[in-house]
Amino acid sequence: MRKTIRIFLLVLVVTFIVAQFYRPEKNTSEASENNILMLHSVPDEVAGLLKNSCFDCHSNNTTYRWYHNISPVSWMVADHIREGKKELNFSEWGNMDIFSQITKLEEMCQESEHRKMPLKSYLLMHSKAKLSDEQIATLCDWTTRLSEELLVKAAEE
């Protein structure tokens, strides 16, 4: 019995070490002219909220912590980023049509109000990303204003 446990632990340790050599590609790139912060007048407070609570998973640039380099955490993080960018990528904001942008702005507010975003699994490791009621109100006020601006722009085109 003891020998079986030792062999199992040895296999587990070797598997963990080998897994460290298989890491996903990092989510980093040059600043894009299609970035929401470049295309719209975003108040500093809102820009800070987006950078702190959204951009790690919803942009082309993630701020990696030391533990993001350890497999299997690195795989989980890469999957969150892939899924997040598929849903909304602030770095590619300018590539969406105006009506898609308006829809995403409405969803941002709703997801925040319902505490669906940021994800609970993200908040476990990034407690500073949690949005207060006041921050959610600020974000929703901004998304409403920007949606209205985009609607006016769409009507003019």
Per residue of the chain (157 residues), what is the pLDDT tens digit? 787 888 887 777 777 777 677 777 876 777 778 899 999 989 999 999 999 999 999 999 888 788 778 888 888 888 889 999 999 999 999 999 999 999 999 999 999 999 999 989 888 888 889 999 999 999 999 999 999 999 998 888 7
> How far from each other are the two terminal CA atoms of the chain, in whole angstroms?
76
Q: Do the domain assignments include residue 12?
A: no
Domain count, the chain: 1
Q: What SS3 state is found at 44?
A: helix
Distance of CA 129 to the CA centre of its chain: 11
Domain that holds residue 66: 24-156
Tokens linked to 2: 């003891």
Q: How far apart are CA 66 and CA 76, in angstroms?
A: 14
Q: 0.85 cut: is pTM over it?
A: no
Q: Do the domain assignments include residue 104?
A: yes
